[in-house]
Structure 1
Amino acid sequence: MTTNTNASTARPLYGCMGLGGTWGPEPYGAADIEAAEAAVGAALEIGITTFDHADIYRHGKSEAVFGELLARDPGLRGRVTLQTKCGIRLPDGDRPGSYDLRGKTVLRRVEESLTRLRTDVIDVLLLHRPDPLADPDDIAEALTSLHAQGLVRRFGVSNMGAAQMASLQARLELPLVANQLEMSLHKRDWLEAGVLLNTPGAAANGFPLGTLEHCRDHGIRIQAWGALAQGRFTGRQQTPSERAAAAVLGELAERKQVTPETVLLWWLQRHPARIAPVIGTSDPGRIQACRQAVGRPPELDHEEWYALWLAARGEPLP
């Protein structure tokens, strides 16, 4: 068995975006509640206790069906950490989607999430996407008010870079505790940014260099959405590099007697930034396949970790 060099492994979260039925205007029904109960039950069974939401998921229905589960089981709220996000406006008729982090909007959205979730406090609130028109002082005032009222315990961001976090933190006494980014063996710009420096490929990368380092230095937990890469390495591989990485993944899973899903999550958790994967599938069986990523440290050594990266990369490092 390989030795884990990551002394404190970040535990996965469960992402609730797949709960609540369709993305259309149709209301959720009994079958949607039962499907949510099965998914949440599977997550709890493997040891996941943090559940990630956003006010826009299924047009609010993801939060609402989770609220139904909390109402059915009054003891559940005390066993879980509730995280939700606000800041995105979905398209509505002729109006395109946009972002809105005005303080008054944040306050209203939190009240709406509390109602749907049937709880009196949100444990962690993330700002979902940067709003170019938002005033950081206005945001900080809204967050401070939410905390003072006892409506939100902690705050973080999503899809933001180091400079954006630093600007908000300079105006906020409460520490930012999380940054949720798309990260996986498929979505690797966060990783590539650090090695493409001083190469022609750097300009095309786009990921804000220094973001991971900022989070590590300031105690901001990095959460990886899309961690299972939408099945690209566990049955849906289409490109030569995806097929090559899937082969390496399968060999490692067989050797270590775990599932390929576990190895995918271990690959993220093995990084010294202590990345916490967000498991977003609503399939109870696939949630169960992630069990060893919750209960065991990542058993990937240096060579195994690089073997997965290079296979998925499909070309040598610079």
Structure 2
Amino acid sequence: MKSRDGWSALGDATSPMASLPPAGAGLGPDEPLTKLSDPLKVWSASVLIDDKPVEVYKVVHEGKQSTCYIEAVEGKEFKVEIKKGTFTATDYAAYLQLDGTEAGAFSIERSNTRPAAFTGKRVSATSIRPYSFAKIALTDDADIATKDEAVIKNLGTISIEIYRTSILGISAGNREYKDNAKQHVVDERSKKAKMSHSTSYGEAKYQPESGARDRIAWIDPWKSPCHTLAFRYRSRTLLELEDIVKPIVHATPPPNLLEPASSPAAGPSSRKRKTDVITISDDEDDDAVERGKQNKGGVKTEKKPKVRDEPLRMAVKKENGQTVIDLLD
């Protein structure tokens, strides 16, 4: 696999790798979908966190683009795997775009069906900066905020653009590297400010470049790919708010309304009498007691769920300047 400018391996991608199963293989009713494919299933791609493909949601095919949603996990590095599942009539070039910015590329021979992985942005012949998810960076300074329309439009998207090409041979030219990978800063007044995350890059890691460069002829014009696989990443909270995934429900046993809280020191005899102590200010004492007598022992309280059909019995008395209401069994 080789890049558009001829590099067989950009270092931000690795090949060969363990083969992925055919699209849809082994998917049972309870198994999550972890790959995004084109309608004809020629191409498939996955996003991996901790070397495990993440689940994809709400797959949509429209024209020359297939889209889905994935969960972004703040602070986690990720990789992107791509695979051509069959021999094809032409060669191809695959371009990885993170938030509208080019982050890696492969050139793929027509007979090549091995998967490969984009692992990071190449910044030298021997190192890459891995891709990661980060909390979105916002600013109220318009001079600092990104003005790149491609970034503003595609923030929150990991996409692979696939182009038809013809490999002409090997190129011997030298390649220049730029360590310009950075997280984009977004104007907090922008519509994109509601996003929770964006992509970023980790510290440089050692990963030597391998392979040779190719000379290629383009069949599809630049920025007019034959197909695009796009992963729209969001936080779990946003995915739930947008009804893309179901909220995670944690089962909590209901409180037992019939048993009062008891202290560890309480003995068996403490269960024989239920006592509620209600403190009433001095100027309300007489009225409260009188109301208790008129209501045959009842006091006016907030409405609570009815837990018994028995009439409530109680005794009202004075203790240490306070009114004590004893609830009797």
| TM-score, length-scaled by structure 1 | 0.22
More strand by share: 2
Which structure's CA Rg is the greater one? 2
| TM-score, length-scaled by structure 2 | 0.22
